[in-house]
Amino acid sequence: MVEASLAGRAYSALSLDKPLDDKTGGDPVPLVATVGALDSNFALIEDRQCVRPLIEALSPCVRAVLVMRFFESLTQSQIATRIGVSQMHISRLLAQALAQLRDRVTDG
């Protein structure tokens, strides 16, 4: 019943030119001036989509190390213990993987 009541009120739209009261005492501004700001996360989404196929091209072992380090926030020592290698080996794997990703992104 509540959904029907809400849907019944949905046919009424505000004009984008309707001035909104400014609570600060200034001049009213039209609704259109308050709608449609740029989303600051678009750049982040673009970056992720750009890097995704590059990460998928890495070996499964290197991808697993990247996930543990950057998504699970494990230290290099914790990763090394988990997969049974030295911390230095993890350090080298991360450095190589990040350099490879960086090179591929800039080659673009």
Tokens of 104: 């591929």
pLDDT number for residue 87:
97
Is 24's pLDDT higher than 70? no
When comparing pLDDT for 72 and 31, which is higher? 72
What domains can you pick out in the chain, each with its CATH number?
Answer: 58-107 (1.10.10)
Amino acid at 77: S
pLDDT of residue 25: 67
Cβ distance 20 to 28 under 8 Å? yes
What is the mean predicted confidence (pLDDT) over 17-46?
Answer: 78
Using one digit for the tens of pLDDT, what is the confidence trace for 62-94?
999 999 999 999 999 999 999 999 999 999 999
Spatial separation of the C-alpha atoms in residues 103 and 108, rounded to whole Å: 8
Q: What is the mean pLDDT of residues 41-49?
A: 86
**Residues 89, 77: contact at Cβ < 8 Å?**
no
Torsion from C-alpha of 94, 98, 99, 103, nearest 10 degrees: 160
